[in-house]
Amino acid sequence: MMLTSIVLAAVASLLPACLAQLASTLEYPVGPLTHSSAKRAVKLCDVTKYGNHTTDLGPSLLAAFNACKAGGVVNIPRGIHQMSTFVTLSGGNAWAINLEGTIERAGNTSGGNMIAIESTTDFELYSSNGKGAIQGYGYQFLANGGYGPRLLRLTNVTSFAVHDIALVDSPAFHLVLDTCSQGEVYNMIIRGANLGGLDGIDVWGFQIWIHDVEVTNKDECVTVKSPALNILVEDIYCNWSGGCAMGSLNAGTNISKIQYSNVYTVNSNQMYMARLFKSNGGSGFVSDVLLENFIGHKNAYSLYINGYWASEAVQPGDGVLYESITFSKWTGDCANGSGRAPIYVDCPASAPCSNITLVGIAIWTDAGHEEHYKCANDIDSHGYCLNRDSAFTPNATITSTVTAAPSGWSAAYMPSDLSTGFATNSSIPVPTVPNTFFPGATPATARAYGR
């Protein structure tokens, strides 16, 4: 597994000492303990042997799982498999799902999860031919002003991987990793409609590596939630999205040792999402966070910390404490840097940010000839409009105006940037998983073809 040690070494002299540990954000192995070929050698449970898998995959999938949950591979072959009975696959060890075809949501169940994996270990969901997909037909709910089921949720899953599949048009969130550990998500594409509430990947847990993923929607791209420890997110392509984020954060927040590297965001709400760290009141802490090597184009906001997000009800507590957070090497452009500051740091006055560092931030505006930076309620912080060790004055906003393009702001583009989002009243086609997710970067893990 290749971490971002080269980039970290290049900027190490600029970063707070407490962030040195992020070079080893993943302190333990991630992914399945047993290769899928070894699992297949134990047992193969093909859904075609367990009922009518084409008109309703659910019962067949559950039966195949029960036959292979002690070790083996559940195989879903090529073709279309409609699914009106949603399933929870609970328990098991050393098993996998090989999805070679497309699972299509059928029926009108409005909540829950199409597929839920719970309380299992040594698990893998993959597509050996790279064509596996789950199609949620979310537009059938969204066009009527409602939401439906999530596509895929993993809860309390240890030593796992999800890779080489497409998640398409979910009626709600696409992929949720709930209290999982020592897992890996990679070589995936997520395509949702242009609407809030259709999150790409939400993750909380311990020791998880998410990399080489493309997300289209108009909400969270890849978001870390509480509690979380040792999460590495890198080579992410937010292609017409809401952008990556951390939150929502409320009472008892506990997030530390988080690293985002190589994140490309285009035509989105933010490079690091609107309400970057989303809290209004609340308690607890976010600490030891590194956000490095971000490229943005045509986004509304860029770097945005908002401790007073008005869209969320006030939570108990004086506010979430943000400490030891570094933003390093951000380049590109924003839509209108005068109307929406590309650097916006507004921490809670009752829990001011501490040791926030901005280094190498070069974002220029697409509209107009100037942009503003705005910062408030930070102490012992450095860079641009941050406090710079001056006396702390609650709610005193430091604003600076930039009238010339900063040096080094120009940044590369991806070849498949979308120029519009996907409608909420028509089906989204199943895409091909791409082979690149960040300009000039090769995916860390080869595609699963030929397994």
* Residues belonging to the active site: 219, 297
Residue 267 CB-half CA count within 13 A: 16
**CA distances from residue 204 to 119, 229, 241, 256 in whole angstroms, order as listed:** 15, 8, 20, 11
Radius of gyration of the chain (CA): 22
Strands 102-105 and 93-99: unpaired
**Torsion 229-235-239-240 (CA) sign:** positive
Residue 12 has which token pair? 């190490």
Q: What is the distance between the alpha carbons of residues 150 and 169, in angstroms, rounded to a whole number?
A: 10
Expressed in angstroms, the distance from the first to the final Cα of the chain is: 20
Q: Give the chain's length.
A: 451
Residue 65 CB contacts under 8 Å (≥ 6 apart), including other chains: 45, 74, 87, 89, 92, 95
Task: Give the E-state strand segments of 366-413 in sequence order.
Answer: 371-376, 378-379, 397-402
